[in-house]
Chain A
Amino acid sequence: MEISRRRFLGLVAAGAAVAASAPLLKGTLPATASERPKARYALVIDTTKCTGCGACIEACRLRNHLPEGISYIYRIVKGNNREPWFLMIQCQHCANPPCATVCPTNATYRREDGVVLIDERLCVGCKYCMQACPYQARVYDEERGVADKCWLCLPWVLGGGLPACVEACIPGARFFGRADDPNSEVSQLIASGRAQPLHPEFGTDPSILFYVIEAE
């Protein structure tokens, strides 16, 4: 079939217009099953059970082969001396991650399933993401000169396992599961309204980590 140049250019233009409008249409059309992300993970930390023992911190350090004293999780002591309680902070895997916005090289990105990862081959080590993260969840890898953080032990999770912090938690304060499965423990905790994201006023919309915090 012969296509005249004018017709060919017209087809190209029409194709470009459709391609350009596709992202606009995507939001309005109902998502088909194949478009839906395969899983939505959730990690709930019950601060009323957490004793602040730091087993999660150490387990995280060992699994990720981090040097002594460095971990993707750190502890904040809240309350008073008589009745302290503990906030274990790690990457909140925000739906609207400020670290990814400010990253000049696009090294930080968010997966379909909500997990925020760093592509270490792209990171230049400017540390801008460490400034922009309101949870201070990032650590700097001095050896390789790149930013590093919790990756939800993704290879273990994809293989059916658990993040190291959840496996190691002695008082059983950490619950991990799929938020897209309404029968899972984490879904029920989130549905009950007891588990809330940390500091929603930051506008980061943490989509994976939730905390159960009783009023002081």
Chain B
Amino acid sequence: MQTTWGWLPAIYLFLGGLGAGALMVAAIFEFFGERYQSDFCPTALVGATVPGPLVILGTILLIFDLGAGLREPWRIFYMFTHFSSVMTWGVWLLTFFIPVSLVYGFLEVLDTFPAARDWLRGRRWLHWTKFLWNLPLRRTKRVFAGIGLGLAIGVAIYTGILLSAVGPAIPFWSTPAFPGLHIPLMPFLFLASAFSTGESLTVDLMATLFVDGRIPRGRRVHLIHLAVITAEALLISHLLIHAFGEGGAAAEAARQIALGQHSLVFWVFVILLAIIFPFVGHLYAAGLGRHLKPSGISSGISILFSGLFLRYLILVGGIHAFL
């Protein structure tokens, strides 16, 4: 069991994935017009406003996890410089993602609450933001949603690439997605998990709490989430089966996760909470066209928790190749 990266990295990988996933859902609602079916769309509002603060919190935790970077913070700027490192790509992605998602959230708030603009007009010290609220609102918002969507996909998959880039050192993390091809599986799993956690926050929780689960084209939205959960299940099983077949450190990691010391966390908090329980809940929601309060809140919370546990398990499963 590797102990270099434990709970703290799991939390910031989770926060990054959640923020990216929430923004993806909001941007999809924006582009497919679900956002404009009613004046108040909690999915788009939360999906646009929450990613910035979440990713800022994750970045702060990341900085706290740096040894020398915390003591001599100017060293953090060196992290922008080495482009062969996936971590450098991640630092750049976060640098762009945070302001774009903050602006997108700001514009979404202006669009949802017209009174916000009047409030801003009355605040002389906020007038420097005028250039933003004087632009054609929806068109500008759409541009930021598009840029944000691209960056969100980047943020979601980069965490997976970060792990798989260690190559032969940790065979479990560099499990290939397709046999024989050098495309790692982790980025796909992290993308699916990010989307699932983002959708559970914005749709399962927020839409259920604020508009009683009545979202436009609810059946299709829940079917998409169902497909993502299925993909996650397939990716997790592919990961474990491949790891068992590969032997060595990868098989040991899979054994510890599925049968050994982490098996309780795996079967209860990941398989039951992230896969089976929300699968049933979303099957029900897709049939009905909307979540009822019990199914929406329970599957939302369970997916959020399990997203964190999944990342923790993958991190502790990173066992170094046997020498």
Contacts and interface: CB of A to CB of B under 8 A. Distances in A.
B68 A123 contact: yes
A16 to B, nearest CB: 21
B87 A128 contact: yes
B167 A98 contact: yes
B5 A202 contact: no
A22 to B, nearest CB: 21
Interface stretch (B73-81, B284-292, B293-301): B73-81
B170 A131 contact: yes
Given A102-B86, A132-B167, A127 B323 contact: no
A103 B87 CA distance: 8
Interface in B61-78: 65-71, 75-76, 78
B85 A133 contact: no
Chain B binding site: helix, strand, loop or mixed by DSSP? helix
Interface residues on chain B, size class? 20 to 34
A124 B168 contact: no
Interface residues on chain A, size class? 35 or more
B87 A76 contact: no
Contacts of B162: 128
A198 B230 CA distance: 41
B83 to A, nearest CB: 9
B222 to A, nearest CB: 38
Given A135-B323, A145-B66, A203-B168, A105 B75 contact: yes
Interface in A160-216: 198-199, 201-203
Contacts of B91: 104
A88 B179 CA distance: 34
B87 A102 contact: yes
B168 A146 contact: no
Interface of A: 76, 87, 89, 98, 101-107, 120, 122-128, 130-136, 140-142, 144-146, 198-199, 201-203
Interface of B: 2, 4-5, 65-71, 75-76, 78-79, 81-82, 84-88, 91, 162, 165-170, 318, 320-321, 323
